Chains A and B, each alone.
Chain A
Amino acid sequence: MPLVTPALAAIIFTAGAVSGTLGALLGLGGGVFLVPFLNLVLGFPFGVAAAISLTTVIATSSTVSAGRAGRQLINMRLGMLLEVATAGGSFLGGITAQLIAQSVLQRLFGIVAVVVAIIMLTRLRRRNVILDPAADPGILGGRYYEDESGATVSYRVRRLPLALGASFIAGNVSSLLGIGGGIIKVPVLNAWCGIPLRAAAATSAFMIGVTATAGAIIYYGHGQLEPTLAAAAVLGVQLGSWAGMRFGATASAKWLKILMAAVLFVVSAMMFARGGR
């Protein structure tokens, strides 16, 4: 466990603020940036980095979902159904993380970072799937007021087993690597399951609180969650994501995405370099 000093707390607060801002601008949790910073730059053990990051994921999920609740953007029924898969995946991942070597986790993170970068690059021009507003959304579908079109749109959920499978994997990766896992769920829900992007992102953000909790509790029990450092990271991420949402122009996110994809390729290479030793 790293020695806690005011300087270290300030560095982690700043790292959290930067990750939170980038996360809000890109529609990610920010853990994908925070974990490599803590592990590679500050040299924390992987488990300690993942535990801190998962705590910030819970805070972001709760804050964002509290702000959105009541607007029907979050598909609660779908979210709660998929949580059965994601919490199960997260529970298993949390146990596995305690049993496998740091080098394996680093290589796994390297793989996921490349996948995230590729997804980011292939989704530079993202589009929503909107169906006829009069359509019956079915038991799991949803209906919400969309600002862009100024109308109520509805959608049906397709390929539920695929959504459940993606959620299980996202939960597993989440607690193994300390990230939210939205980057895995959101593209699958949007591209193959018929859920509009905004609803998919809101529902995923809602779910990752439970996902990260299932993982974080295990790290906490294992004594890998340092409260002072977690507090600094949580407060930094809260400030950063607030700033990102307030001042972030999502329309100009294209170059930011390209830049961040490049950062993730570097992160991946570094993780492989460390993990390969």
Chain B
Amino acid sequence: MTRDEGRLASAQRLERAIGAVLRAGVTISSLCLIVGLVWAIAAGNGGVPSLLLQIGIVVLLGTPAARVVVSIAEYVVEGDWRFAVLTGIVLLELLASAVAALVFNRRL
């Protein structure tokens, strides 16, 4: 296998892994949101429907982050340190947002 073919094969593996993570995140969050929304409209907010809606939103917000984590793992396995570091920085930026969210939350 030439260097070019090797690069293509690993790129395809990464794309498939990312596609699977995104599909799983969208499916789980959409199901939670549909059931939660219909339930909340039928029976009023609170209890299980509220919990389902919260789970749906959190899974939705977590899906791109999960995709970044999978990319880091793939790049580390490949030994592609340059991109492992770059995607690591992206994850740190997302964590910084989560920390900022907690700071704002405490203020309320």
Q: Enumerate chain A interface residues (CB-CB to B < 8 A).
A: 4, 6, 9, 55, 58-59, 61-63, 65-66, 69-72, 74, 76-77, 80-81, 83-84, 87-88, 90-91, 94-95, 98, 209-210, 212-218, 220-223, 225, 227-228, 230-232, 234-235, 238
A220 close to B37 (CB less than 8 A): no
For A227, give its contact among B14, B54, B97, B104 (CB under 8 Å): B54
Contact B97 A228 (CB under 8 A): no
C-alpha gap A212/B71 in the complex (Å): 18
Instruction: Give CA–CA (A55, B53) in the complex, Å.
Output: 13
The answer to whether residues A66 and B22 also contact, given A76-B15, A222-B105, A227-B50 and a CB cut-off of 8 A, is yes
Task: Please measure, in the bound complex, the distance between the C-alpha atom of A84 and the C-alpha atom of B29, giving whole angstroms.
Answer: 26
- Whether B22 lies near A65 (C-beta < 8 A) is yes
Asked if B61 lies at the interface with its beta carbon under 8 angstroms from chain A, I say yes
The distance in angstroms between the C-alpha atoms of A55 and B56, with both chains bound, is 11
Residue of B nearest to A7 (CB): B41
A9 touches B16 (CB 8 A): no
Asked if residues B41 and A91 are in contact (CB atoms below 8 Å), the reply is no
Inter-subunit contact A72/B45 (CB<8 Å): no
List B contacts of A84 (CB < 8 A).
Answer: 86, 89-90, 93
- Contacts known (A69-B15, A84-B89); A234 close to B33, Cβ less than 8 A: yes
Q: Which residues of A contact B71 (CB under 8 A)?
A: 76, 80
Contact of B60 among A4, A55, A72, A90 (CB under 8 A): A55
With both beta carbons as reference points, the residue of chain B lying nearest to A220 in the complex is identified as B101
Which of A70, A90, A217, A223 is close to B98, meaning CB atoms less than 8 Å apart?
A217
B26-A230 in contact (CB<8A): no
Q: In the assembly, what is the distance between CA of A200 and CA of B63, in Å?
A: 22
Q: How far is the CA of A171 from the CA of B33 in the complex (A)?
A: 26
| B30 A214 Cβ-Cβ under 8 A | no
Our pick among B26, B36, B53, B61 for the contact of A63 (Cβ within 8 Å) is B26
- Whether the Cβ atoms of A55 and B93 lie closer than 8 Å is no
CB-CB nearest in chain B for A87? B93
Q: Which residues does chain A contribute within 8 Å of B30, judged by CB atoms?
A: 59, 234-235, 238
Return the chain A residue nearest B62 by Cβ: A213
Asked if A70 contacts B94 (CB within 8 A), the reply is no
Does residue B9 face the partner (Cβ distance < 8 Å to A)? Answer: no
CA distance A234 to B57 in the complex (A): 10
Chain B, range 34-55, C-beta contacts under 8 Å to A: 34, 36-37, 40-41, 45, 50, 53-54
Check A217/B97 contact, CB under 8 A, given A84-B86, A227-B53, A231-B36: yes
A222 touches B101 (CB 8 A): yes
> Besides the contacts A55-B57, A91-B96, A209-B64, what 15 more A-B pairs have beta carbons closer than 8 Å?
A58-B63, A62-B60, A69-B15, A71-B15, A76-B71, A91-B93, A94-B100, A210-B67, A213-B97, A216-B61, A217-B100, A221-B98, A221-B100, A231-B33, A231-B56
